[in-house]
Chain A
Amino acid sequence: MTGLTKLDLAVIIAYLVGITAFGLYVARRVKDTEGFFMGNRRFGKALMVAQALTTGTRADYAIGVAGASYDIGMAGIWYQWMYIFSTPFFWLLSPIFRRMRYTTTADFFEERFSRSLGIAYSFFAIYIFMLTQGMIIKGAATTITAISGLPEFWIIWGVTALFVLFGVAGGLVATATTDFIQGIFIIILSFLIIPFGLEAIGGFSGLHAKLAPEMFSLIASKELTLFSVTMLVVSGLVGIIAQPHHMAVAGSGKTEMNCRIGWCYGNFIKRLCTIGWALTGLITAALLAKGSLEKRELAFGVMIKMLLPPGLVGLMIAAILATVIASCAAYMIAGSALFTRNLYKRYLKPAAADAHYLLVGRAASAAITIGGLLMALYMKSVVDATVHFVTAVAFVGVPMWAGVVWPRANAKGAWASILGSTTTYAVIYGWYGMRDGSQLLYPLLVGFAAVIVVSWLTRPESAERLQRFFALLHTPVGEEEQMERVGLKVTLD
């Protein structure tokens, strides 16, 4: 009835029971909000690598890259390799996140610029978290439906219930600890199909015999041209700093070195996995005639069903569930931290006990997830949502880069940048319908110009605000005494 053998079902159930039990066991150690949201900033190098790999690696990425590579060839890899040139910058950025000592990126906007920008970013980030969760759930549910034949509606509900239970109970400690296991599953997901596929088509030489040479080019003649790839790379670099979950992912290490190694090399492993996803797309193109799939994103699920023996199909579904649980739980917790600390605690109930905020954090986690669930249920296209995500975070990334690099950047400049780039995008993309990369280039140019010009023409932020912010950036963790000695606040209230 499900299209799955008993062995497949046993593998899936064993995985789900095991991972949930482990999460609940770890959750017993979570007693306060710092532990729930930031893992008490005690993650070692291996845990940081695992966390960076799994929160940044999602089943819908694999599905998107495999689908694009099936359609346009190896160039489809750029839907994820757009971040490969940003990855060395993670080495430089992670100690910045660590030294800021903030829990959320909204803290950055509030402390560096203004309260209004902090609030605006909180709402923006909560929306992004819900959107992202919707994309993840929808992408995984589509693939599992293609494999198992089970109704997508029930898969969406089932997956959501699972990661809510997991994340609400354990917080970041639980999700990050189980990421060790999830990381292994992700690598399995990326490379499991390839040997079976190569055997079916007669190895790499068979692959070349069946496909046109241009399918192996890293630059495509349509969709992902050199210009559009360049713009994706630039947008990836600009936006990477403003992605809402990165404050927790990059800043929760025990030391600056742990943060650097974890974030940078966790993402390098992901870039390696991407090669596996693209190769899967090429194998699909060699095995199936072009146009034989209703949607190209079905390529990954169809290959699983066609190539893998019983038991391994179950393992693959478990691997997809692993990525959904790891990513969605991390996004849910980060969104909950934003709501609890940046909106509820600051503006609604400033002086409650920590246990109260923990309760609110858990309730907010569930509420944000319901938003993600609704988006998954009503979302039309995962691909459009992904492009929308990349664009939006890039526009918010412009003032954030300016705020770190340039003391003169101020709140008025930041607002001008966000509004200027968003408006330009609306005109270019919405009105003129540009899709070739220009819809990213011009808004970014306007955004950078606006933050520079408006900040020059208006007064800088107060000396006290700038002193506190840049003192944090120049004070490594462990040297707080220096700041306190001259009367500077080290952490937020």
Chain B
Amino acid sequence: MMKKETEMQKVSEIVPPIPRSRMEEDGHGLLLVDLLRLPRRFSFRRYRIDVLGFIAAWVWVLLILALGYWITRIGA
């Protein structure tokens, strides 16, 4: 049986090559882990889950802040 080849990637000059993840290529890349390489590496497809979830979370922050402010204005 033929042995399956593992595709490798380089993440830093001082880190030896590590296995390339198919899931990472398909939306599961992590923005914080790749933060210093983002200018060269960013693509929406790679970081899709991080980007969409992060934006949605900020929308929730704004909604909660607005709710807090609105409650202080009721009856004013």
Partner of B64, one of A95, A208, A271, A460: A271
Encoded as 1 (CB less than 8 Å from any B CB) or 0, chain A from 182 to 225 comes to 00000000000000000000011111100001001110000000
Are A92 and B50 in contact, with the CB atoms below 8 A? yes
Are A470 and B4 in contact, with the CB atoms below 8 A? no
Encoded as 1 (CB less than 8 Å from any B CB) or 0, chain A from 270 to 308 comes to 011001001100000000000000000000000000000
* A-B contacts, 23 listed (Cβ < 8 Å): A89-B32, A90-B57, A91-B50, A91-B57, A92-B30, A92-B32, A93-B32, A207-B75, A208-B75, A218-B69, A218-B72, A265-B60, A272-B67, A406-B36, A407-B15, A466-B16, A467-B15, A467-B16, A471-B19, A474-B21, A479-B22, A482-B19, A485-B19
CB-contacts of B1-48 with A (<8 A): 4, 6, 8-9, 11-12, 14-24, 28, 30-33, 35-36
Q: Indicate whether A474 sits within 8 Å of B71 (C-beta atoms), given known contacts A467-B18, A485-B19.
A: no
Are A279 and B71 in contact, with the CB atoms below 8 A? yes
Are B11 and A275 in contact, with the CB atoms below 8 A? no
B64, closest chain A residue (CB) = A271
B30 to chain A, nearest CB (A): 6
Partner of A470, one of B6, B8, B12, B65: B12
A200 to chain B, nearest CB (A): 15
B32, closest chain A residue (CB) = A92
Interface centre among B12, B19, B21, B35 (most CB of A within 10 A): B19
B75, closest chain A residue (CB) = A204
**Chain B interface residues (CB < 8 Å from chain A):** 4, 6, 8-9, 11-12, 14-24, 28, 30-33, 35-36, 49-50, 53-54, 56-58, 60-61, 64-65, 67-69, 71-76
Partner of A471, one of B18, B49, B60, B64: B18
What chain B residues lie within 8 Å of A90 (beta carbons)? 57
What chain B residues lie within 8 Å of A205 (beta carbons)? 75
Range of interface residues on A (Cβ < 8 Å)? 35 or more
A476 on interface, CB distance cutoff 8 Å = yes
Partner of A466, one of B14, B28, B31, B69: B14
- Docked Cα-Cα span, A207 to B74, in Å, equals 10
Are B21 and A476 in contact, with the CB atoms below 8 A? yes
A483 on interface, CB distance cutoff 8 Å = yes
Partner of B33, one of A265, A405, A408, A482: A405
What chain A residues lie within 8 Å of B60 (beta carbons)? 87-88, 265, 268
- Docked Cα-Cα span, A467 to B11, in Å, equals 9
Partner of A476, one of B15, B23, B65: B23
Q: Indicate whether A264 sits within 8 Å of B68 (C-beta atoms), given known contacts A95-B30, A405-B35, A476-B28.
A: no
